[in-house]
Structure 1
Amino acid sequence: MKNMVQEILFVCLGNICRSPIAHAVFQHIVKEKGIADQWVIDSAAVSGRHNGSPPNSRARQVLESHNMQCKRRARQIKDEDFNRFDYIFGMDEHNISSLKDQAPRDCKAKILLLGDFDPEGDRIIQDPYFENGTEGFEKCYQQCMRSCTAFLEQL
């Protein structure tokens, strides 16, 4: 891997469930690999509905069960993010479509579906927000762990 700093942004609909989990997972993985200084990591939403909100309590619960946390507050993606970040990962096809619609034609960021890196082929990271319990959040965590690990291995 290169020794320069790369910037990565994880995006979902509201930035309170999937993208904070992906953010925390990626942060954990690069710290474990001793390459945290090579990455700037953030997350955002395509919608501004939850701006300023902490991650959903079930997302925090699942992260804490894996000795991780994400203390950030939700924010909506900004136009300048498309030229700041090297990689912008959406969680589902709706996220990708929204991101590509908003992105400037010649943006710096590569807009990618995080699940495309899942070695188990589970491409879509479903929004667990409307589910009861934490099962969907745990599934999201597992998908993010596999996908983020595989993404880093491919660099």
Structure 2
Amino acid sequence: MAKSHPITSLLFVCMGNICRSPSGENVMRKLLEDAGLADSVKCDSAGTIGYHTGNPPDPRMTVAGKKRGLPMTGSARQVTAEDLDEFDLILAMDDANYADLLALSTPENEHKIKRFCDFCIQHPDTEVPDPYYGGAQGFEHVLDLLEDGCLQILKEIQSS
């Protein structure tokens, strides 16, 4: 990200907006609160499909988040073309989400779309895996990745 344009809004995007992206939003909100930036950076999440619209985060992710002191709040919604204009940084959880976002983008906003794992420095993963069909360890791994990448994003926000 260029230093000339401060990051004042973030959108986390996965497929259904009930596991990975709301967790990213909640991890980031906590980091922003702890850094005293909660009032100056907007944080949201959305899914590439609307199947879960209105639903809260997955109960298994809520349990995993609470173990780390994270309140898992939010209500699933589908990403819109307007979101791509509104947000400064749009974070795709996996390659399929990235492709879906690029298909929705315009030449003016496609530069804002990034792969979330490009921000991770502690983990070699290139995608945040969908834990929906797995066990509890999958949810923990997702949170490990999100904490890693969100810390790096916070550093970029603080230096922009």
Structure 1 position 131 matched with structure 2 position 134: yes
Distance 1:5 1:112 in 2: 13
Give the drift of 1:150.
Answer: 1.1
CA contact (8 A) 1:5 1:37 kept: no
CA contact (8 A) 1:16 1:74 kept: yes
Tell me what 1:99 maps to: 101
Distance 2:26 2:86 in 1: 20
Change (3 A) 1:21 1:39: same
Give the drift of 1:123.
Answer: 2.1
TM-score normalised to structure 2 length: 0.90
SS at match of 1:59: helix
Q: Deviations over 1:70-114 (max 9, x none)?
A: 221100001110110001000011000000001122127610011
Q: Deviations over 1:48-83 (max 9, x none)?
A: 111111110011011111111122110000111011
Distance 1:109 1:84 in 2: 13
Residue in structure 1 matching 2:84, options 82, 85, 89:
82
Q: Flag structure 2 segments of 5+ consecutive residues without an equivalent.
A: none
Identity across the alignment (%): 32
The one-letter code of the counterpart of 2:10 is I
Q: Flag structure 1 segments of 5+ consecutive residues without an equivalent.
A: none
Give the drift of 1:42.
Answer: 0.3
**Alpha-carbon RMSD:** 1.7
Tell me what 1:73 maps to: 75
Ranges of 4+ aligned residues in structure 1 off by more than 6 Å: none
TM-score normalised to structure 1 length: 0.92
Q: Deviations over 1:116-144 (max 9, x none)?
A: 11103222100000113x11011000100
CA contact (8 A) 1:17 1:128 kept: yes
